[in-house]
Structure formats: C-alpha cells, structure tokens
Amino acid sequence: MNLHEYQAKELFARYGLPVLPGQVAQTPEEARDVAASIGGTVVIKAQVLVGGRGKAGGVKLAHSPDEAYERAREILALTIKGLPVRKVLVAQAAEIARELYLSIALDRSRKLPLIMLSAEGGVDIEEVARTAPGKIVRRHIPLEGLRSYQARALFQPLLADGKLVQQAADILLRLWRVYQEGDCQLAEINPLAITPDGRVIALDAKVILDDNADFRHREWTTWRDSGDETPGARLAHEKGLSYVKLDGDIGCVVNGAGLAMATMDLVKHYGGEPANFLDIGGSSSPEKVTAALRIITSDARDGGGDSKVRAILFNIFGGITRCDDVANGIVQSLAETPLAVPLVIRLTGTNEEVARRILSEHGLQATTSMDDGVRTVIARAQEVGA
C-alpha cells in the first residue's frame, strides 16, 4: 500500500523525524483556514500517489491565506498522471539551500534493505540513476542493523559540516526505524532539504507499506484510501483475493497462483494479452467465484484507462478446489448479473462431472484442455473486438 505524503509525514513525525507542520485540505476554503492557522508562507501540495507532482504544477507556494485559497483551487482542479487531485497538503514552507535524496528500500536481489543517498535531490531519482549513476551512494543494511557511526560516515563526504552530518545521520537512523518497525518496502525523503540556517528537514515523504504485514498493523486500515483503488482492486481486497489489473483484454479467473501465471503465459503465447492476474485460491466457494467475476467486470467497465475485457477465461484445476463449487458460482453469478462478454470455461479434476452437469443444465459447457480453453478465449475475444 502506498501512503499519501501527509500520511507518511504523520508516520515520520511519530518517529521524531523533522517534518514541518501541515494539514490536509479538501477544499480551497479549508486550505485557506489551514494556511491562516500555520501563518507565513505555506506550500500547497497535491496528494496523489505519483511522483513528479512538482513538475506537473501540483506543488505551489502561497504567501497569504488568500493566495493559499487560489493555489489550492488550481491544484484541486488538476489531474496528475491520470489521477484527479482530491486533497492537498497545506504545510509550512521551508527555505531551501540544498536538496538531497535519501531512501531505504528493499533490495530483493540481495535480500537486504538498501540505503540510497544522493546530493542530487529534489528531482526524480530514476533520472539521476540514468544520467549520473555515480552520484547515488548505495549501502546495504546488514542483518545486525545500522550503527550511528555508519550513518555519519555516509553523510560525511556529502555534507562536511559536522552539525549537518549529525542531523542527517539522526534522520537516517529514525528512517531506518520507520522502515523496520513500520514494515515498509520503501521509505523515501526527496528532498531532504537543508535550510540556509542549517537545519535538515524531510520536505517530502514517500512510503510503501508491505501488504503482507497488514495483519500486525491495525492502524493501516485508516490509511487505506479506497478512493484511490480501482473498483476491482477494492473488491478484491475486501474479499481477500489476489488481483492485479493488467492492460490486456482477456480476463482470467484461475485457482492457484502458479496456474494463474501459466495461464497468462499461455494467453501471451497464443498472441493474446491478459487483462488481469486473479487467483481465487485453493479452496474455492461459489461466493469467491461471484466476487471474481464482479472484480474483473467492474474494472472492465469503469476501471479507467482504455483497456477493455473482451472475453473471460475460467481455468480451474480441481484439487482441493471443487469444480462443482466453481460451476455453481458461475451459474449463480450469471443469474444475478449476466455477462456482456463471452465466457470460456476450462475445468478438470475434483467433481468435474458434477460441474459439467451443472453447467450444461444452464446452457454452458466446459473444456478439459487448457490449451483449447486459451485458444478459444482468444478467438472469442477477437470476434468481439472485430
């Protein structure tokens, strides 16, 4: 789960990281009130879950409450990289002498957290990585953790001034705690700003939480901004199904992650493009099947983008999953909401015969061959597309 900047800053503040006071606003009026309560110059920042808001006009300074109203009005009217701006953060503005980049992210290949640090902050780190990779310092954090002398040594060459080094090292150690205790995949400060009067501040905050740890973080539910999820993703999350929306037009409902991957591979092999990854799990129930169809079709209808599901493939290998459960789910689901696109069903394994009978009683049929199922669904999708 990606946190908004204002949420990430709340988290940072709990760990004593230096962030400037601010509050989120949903209307220009609210922004004006927040600006008045903060006083002085404020910065108005679009709260959308993408980077590069600055360049897109989503970060602006305001020198008075009335100006804050105007800037907030402009920013709340923006759509940045496809995301409408619904909220802004109004925060005390800082004066900036220098901008650094600092992050801790999971390096999956080394199975260790990785600190990345650069004197070239403020801009996209991907851009720095492309144009001046030598300007990014990388250090893995070993299993025994991060010591304060190590943190100081990292900043020493960049900052020279002992007081700045001390502050920056303290920030890194706190960020490490945020990362570790908070179960983050990424904790990023860009820019880590140095003010003309020698303070080091986290001016931006980006946090990605590891969803696998949400069972031990009850507070996360209050952060989940369902308005930012596609309808399908929200439903999948509610129902506990693994779902990833993709750009293709072949909807895939599969039991088991491995079979789901294999199905997507085969769809691509025969020249199709999967619209999603969707694993309905090992032990399935009619309810899950109904939810799966709703997930795929709701994203096909109003999930944004230009992708459209043209045909749906069920690929079920009955082991613990019973084919008759799936068949009942399909029949129930179609009775409630008829599908607007062709449905191709492949099933084999436990209770296959019962499943086939249930389906045929409702005018549906299923193949046993995965190869056949995939080819058929691609052909049907092409008919629909033509």
Contact footprint for Mn ion (CB under 5 A): 190, 204
Q: Does residue 53 touch ligand GDP according to CB under 6 A? A: yes
Rg, Å, the chain Cα set:
25
Stretch in the footprint of ligand GDP (CB under 6 A) among 23-31, 43-51, 258-266, 303-311: 43-51
31 binds, among ligand GDP, Mn ion, none (CB under 5 to 8 A by kind): none
Distance, CA of 48 to CA of 33 (rounded, Å): 21
CB 104 within 8 A of CB 186: yes
Binding mask 200-239 for ligand GDP (x = CB under 6 A): ---xx-----------------------------------
Shortest Cβ 68–Mn ion spacing (Å): 20
Point out the residue whose Cβ comes nearest to Mn ion. 204
Can 101 be counted among the known catalytic residues? yes
Closest distance of CB 204 from Mn ion, Å: 4
- Four-residue CA torsion sign, 23, 25, 28, 30: negative
Binds 83: which of Mn ion, ligand GDP, none (CB < 5-8 Å by kind):
none
CA-to-CA distance for 73 and 134, rounded, in angstroms? 41
Q: What mask, x for binding ligand GDP by CB under 6 A, covers residues 81 to 120?
A: ------------xx-x--x---------------------
Name the binder of 43 from ligand GDP, Mn ion, none, CB < 5-8 A by kind: ligand GDP
69, 188, 243, 352: which is the annotated catalytic residue? 188
CB of 201 to Mn ion, least distance (A): 13
In angstroms, the CA 189 to CA 121 distance is: 9
* Shortest distance (Å) from residue 257 CB to ligand GDP: 33
- Amino acid residing at 80: I
For residues 137 and 120, the answer to whether their CB atoms sit within 8 Å is no
Examine residue 349 and tell whether it contacts ligand GDP (CB under 6 A). no
Q: Which is nearer to ligand GDP, 6 or 176 (CB)?
A: 6
10 binds ligand GDP (CB under 6 A): no
Distance CA(46)–CA(50), nearest Å, equals 10
The count of chain residues that interact with ligand GDP, using the rule CB under 6 A, is: 16
Residue 52, interface with ligand GDP (CB under 6 A)?
A: yes
Strand partners, 278: 243
Q: Give me the residue label for tokens 């905050």.
A: 205
**How many CA within 13 A on the CB side of residue 17?**
31
**How crowded is residue 215: how many other Cβ atoms within 10 Å of its Cβ?**
8
**How many Cα neighbours within 13 Å face the side chain of 247?**
2
Give the shortest CB-20-to-ligand GDP separation in angstroms: 7
What span, in angstroms and rounded, lies between the C-alpha atoms of 56 and 212?
Answer: 32
Catalytic residue among 6, 69, 101, 243: 101
Q: Cβ neighbours of residue 210 under 8 Å, at least 6 residues apart?
A: 106, 183, 184, 185
70 is catalytic: no
Residues 196 and 172: beta-carbon distance below 8 Å:
no
Residue closest to ligand GDP, measured at CB: 54
Q: Which is nearer to ligand GDP, 116 or 296 (CB)?
A: 116
Report the C-alpha gap between 140 and 33 in whole angstroms: 44
Dist. CA 369–CA 290, nearest whole Å:
23
CB closer to Mn ion out of 178 and 267: 178
Residue with tokens 């895939």: 252
Residue 297 in the binding site for ligand GDP (CB under 6 A): no
Shortest Å, Cβ 140 to ligand GDP? 25
Contacting residues toward ligand GDP, per CB under 6 A: 43, 45, 51-54, 59, 93-94, 96, 99, 122, 190-191, 203-204
